[in-house]
Amino acid sequence: MRKIAIVNQKGGSGKTTTAVSLAASLAESSKRVLLIDLDPQGSSSLWFGIKDQGKLFFDVLTARAPLEQAVQPTKIKNVDLISSSPLLSGVEKALYQEKDAEHNLKHAFANMQSASWDYVLLDCPPTLGMLVLNAFVLAKEVLVPVETHVMALHGLLQLLKTIQLIKERLNPSLELGGILACRVDMRTKHSNEVLGQLRNRFQDKLYQTFIRENVKLAEAPLHVKPIIQYDPSCYGAADYRALAKELISQEVCVEPA
Ligand SMILES: Nc1ncnc2c1ncn2[C@@H]1O[C@H](COP(=O)(O)OP(=O)(O)OP(=O)(O)O)[C@@H](O)[C@H]1O
Ligand SMILES: [Mg+2]
């Protein structure tokens, strides 16, 4: 089972778009996927048409409730979801004094009777708080979506340092899975230049696949469908299918969980 945290502290960098589109694309290739929506904004959940006001996941993170209870199927075959609710914004406060609280999600996962997913994708909020720390402790890989914009590169180096720190202090198994260039606009010189800089600097840590700017990706959540169903032949669908293939092709090299 590959557990991948999709993280960038910069808002609007393509985390949710990647989480949902990749989940559906992996599922299309017969992979069983659990998507965990850790963002109190609940954007991934809403994309699947789920507006959760409940406290099931909150209780998993704060009161040792079983994780099974929070898992629900989606309309997409092979994709299960742990949905977020606005209550998750209270997790920080609830766990303020609890020792080792960043391990709560990992413990909940370990206590599951059966976890038969091939991929667990964690859609993280754009703040490096307790929710993201829980994702970092559960995950083995971090996927960092970045907009191909020079401003987006500044925060990236800081994030890579944070990942290294988490690896040293909380989760020695954590690795940077890769950086995913998102919203690439091939028509602009700037976007191409930033893509070139990312390639030079990060080399094999940059996924070969990059995600092009495609308005269909912005429209899809309004239609409550992942991109591969909303418009199966658009660029966005092609790019996320390519990303799923790239991840699947790495499987032989990835150690089992
Ligand atoms: N490749 C793309 N082409 C066009 N629009 C995109 C693309 N990727 C993302 N977007 C749009 O950019 C916005 C931000 O994307 P998204 O919600 O995935 O980012 P995020 O990192 O999850 O944001 P947040 O930090 O708020 O959770 C959304 O309106 C989304 O539709
Ligand atoms: Mg998001």
Quote the domain boundaries for residue 53: 2-250
Tell me, yes or no, whether 255 lies in a domain: no
Q: Provide the whole-model pTM.
A: 0.96
For residue 75, give the H/E element and its range: none
Q: What is the pLDDT along the chain (257 residues), one digit of tens a residue?
A: 999 999 999 999 999 999 999 999 999 999 999 999 999 999 999 999 998 777 899 999 999 999 999 999 999 999 999 999 999 999 999 998 999 999 999 999 999 888 889 999 999 999 989 999 999 999 999 999 999 987 778 889 899 999 999 999 999 999 999 999 999 998 899 989 999 999 999 999 999 999 999 999 999 999 999 999 999 999 999 999 999 999 999 997 655 55
Longest dimension (CA), the chain: 52
Query: How many C-alpha atoms does 249 have within 13 Å on its Cβ side?
Result: 9
Pairing of strands 71-73, 119-123: unpaired
Report d(CA 97, CA 165) in Å as an integer: 22
Burial of 73 (0-12, 13-18, 19+ CB in 10 A): exposed
182: Cβ below 6 Å to ligand 1? yes
Residue 29 contacts residue 247 (beta carbons within 8 Å) = no
Tell me, yes or no, whether 256 lies in a domain: no
Quick one: pLDDT at residue 120? Answer: 98
13: Cβ below 6 Å to ligand 1? yes
Tell me, yes or no, whether 239 lies in a domain: yes
Name the one residue in this structure whose structure tokens are 């920080």: 92
Name residues whose C-beta falls within 8 Å of residue 119's C-beta, 6 or more positions apart in sequence. Answer: 1, 2, 3, 4, 23, 26, 31, 32, 33, 34, 247
pLDDT tens, residue by residue, 142-160: 999 999 987 778 889 899 9
Q: Whose CA is nearest to atom 10 of ligand 1?
A: 218
Q: The domain spanning residue 158 has which CATH number? A: 3.40.50.300
Q: Give CA torsion, residues 250, 109, 33, 255, to 10 deg.
A: 10
Minimum-distance ligand 1 atom for the alpha carbon of 17? 18
Q: How many domains does the chain have?
A: 1
pLDDT tens, residue by residue, 38-90: 999 999 999 999 987 778 999 999 999 999 999 999 999 999 999 999 999 99
Which residues place a Cβ less than 5 A from the ion ligand 2?
15-16, 43
Quick one: pLDDT at residue 231? Answer: 98
14: Cβ below 6 Å to ligand 1? yes
Query: How many C-alpha atoms does 26 have within 13 Å on its Cβ side?
Result: 29
Length of the chain (residues): 257
Quick one: pLDDT at residue 255? Answer: 55
Quick one: pLDDT at residue 253? Answer: 65
Report d(CA 25, CA 141) in Å as an integer: 18
